[in-house]
A and B are shown apart, each in its own frame.
Chain A
């Protein structure tokens, strides 16, 4: 941040040729101010309108969860349904099932991401001073999957798991084992999806943690090595403790999103295979399916509102906890 004192300096000593004593100062200033406010408002307007249309209007649309929606009558013309949609959702047992899958899979992915990203960041930190070029290559390779879309990832996964041509089944038959019809065996998918999610997303966290490690004051390490601490000890006694605040904050932020699944991961990578639903059907895929294949607007809106509401409470709660630890890192 630049020193804010610069503002007052300029204001106190305006260049003499710019002072116009003849003009009635107060009126022109007020006018200028009004004009500037108006300009600023108009500059922000396009984005504000877009946010209104694509974020705020849908917020009002959550009333759909309490409606018996009929397209011909519109959102507000449709009859109220009270809590019928929610009753239907929760009595079918689907709500519990998809909530469990969402939270369980997200917890697995959060834990795996943390473990792998910390390990890789610490390893990269060990090699980066002697071999900066190689460290850069490693980091690039790990980050590469970040730029692929989930559709492309589904092609990659298919190349491994395709029943007839997949690499894995060919390896299995090669050593005399039975091939596995991966896209119909739901038991494997919590593991498969965790691997895929870590593969695609961990590069992001590696960079974040590596940046935090690099920012640690090198004097700590100098002092430690003078006291005879080895690299392992330095890692355990300096690097990891210094990362703990960041880890806690990242965990809190991840947990606050635990009710929102990554639709692409659960829809594209599983190729939306019905047989996998026991482990891979999450709130987001359920809402999508209820809306597009079943056309049940009311119930999918109810499931969406349930997700948005719990998600909102979690975010506010997590932000409150983060704020207590480090107000700088809090979102609001």
Chain B
């Protein structure tokens, strides 16, 4: 085989690019380390309880089994209910939040609006100083009486000053003559906003909408403070209760047969079910997160 020599020669580069190779190795190690915890939990959810007791959590499941998932799905009411609450809160919260924030941001982007400057300061100051947990807590529970009301999971996050200012910056970057032309044609503010500004702003709306949806989906803080009925508990709060309660049950169960309940793997299976949608969505929406991060300053 005369051609044998050729590939060997081609495979020997003129000069190995060591720095680049080192960079690749370091980055690859980092990438693996960053994903590893997810793999560990995933593997645990497919392990048998016995294997976890013997070998602990490991990256490859010992004795692969879907038992934990079947166990969870065997009595799905609680997790389905939690999913329902989370989906409701995320969808209603995100839509309402985008609507009220972009309307306010639009008014702050209208150069002719007399209240523009004072209202912009009103929004900004809310970002700089907040009364903290205690006054909000007393106000929401004692005066608004929102404890164990679904609205308490939505209302406090509806308006984020940061997002309002971000949307305003985007609206300010839209071509002014299009809006002026609309007004000359007799379109009112509402029509200009809904028919011209909003359709032109899908990139900004998508970015802010996804970040808002992420905040709602991932929230356990409002639930921890204001929800103590389990049928109103969103997914993240359910996860919190599971990690604090089951463990308690397990640590007291050395003597009785509670140990037969697959605590470890079931717990991890529920965690996987909770993060599944987020991980799936991550690959589609990553560029919006990136855009949200790299978006310019807030000044006009």
A, B co-complexed: yes
A106 at the interface (CB under 8 A from B): no
Q: Is the CB of B106 within 8 A of A43?
A: yes
Question: How would residues 180 to 210 of chain B score, 1 for a CB under 8 Å from any chain A CB and 0 otherwise?
Answer: 1100110011100100000000000000000
Q: B73 at the A/B interface (Cβ < 8 Å)?
A: no
CB contacts (< 8 Å) of A297 on chain B: these are 134, 138
Q: How far is the CB of A175 from chain B (nearest CB, A)?
A: 14
- Contact residues of B: prevailing secondary structure: helix
A83 at the B interface (CB under 8 A): no
CA distance A293 to B50 in the complex (A): 37
Say whether chain A's binding surface is mostly helix, strand, loop, or mixed.
Answer: helix
- Complex CA gap A316/B158 in Å reads 26
Q: Please name all residues of chain B whose beta carbon is closer than 8 Å to the beta carbon of A155 when the two chains form the complex.
A: 41, 239, 243, 267-268, 271
Asked if A271 is at the interface of the complex by the 8 Å CB criterion, the answer is yes
Residues of A within 8 A of B37 (CB): 145, 156-157, 159-160, 199
Distance between B134 CB and nearest chain A CB, rounded to angstroms: 4
Q: A301 touching B135 by the CB < 8 A rule?
A: yes
Among the listed A39, A156, A329, which residue makes an inter-chain contact with B41, where contact means beta carbons less than 8 Å apart? Answer: A156
Check A165–B24 contact: CB distance below 8 A: no
With a cutoff of 8 Å between Cβ atoms, the chain A residues found around residue B52 in the complex are 165
The distance from the CB of A314 to the nearest CB of chain B, in whole angstroms, is 10
Q: Chain A contacts of B219 at CB under 8 A?
A: 149
B19 nearest CB neighbor, chain A only: A231
Segment at the A interface, from B6-14, B64-72, B170-178: B170-178
Given A10-B177, A264-B221, A59-B135 contact (CB < 8 Å): yes
- Having A47-B159, A165-B56, A211-B293, one finds 10 other A-B pairs with CB under 8 Å, namely A2-B176, A11-B180, A51-B159, A127-B24, A134-B27, A138-B28, A152-B218, A167-B58, A304-B133, A308-B130
On B, residues with C-beta under 8 Å from A are 19-20, 23-24, 26-28, 30-32, 34-35, 37-38, 40-41, 44, 52-53, 55-58, 100-101, 103-104, 106-108, 110, 112-115, 119, 121-124, 126-139, 142, 144, 155-156, 158-159, 161, 164, 172-177, 180-181, 184-185, 188-190, 193, 214, 217-221, 225, 236, 239-240, 243-244, 264, 267-268, 271, 274-275, 278-279, 281-283, 286, 289-290, 293-294, 297-299
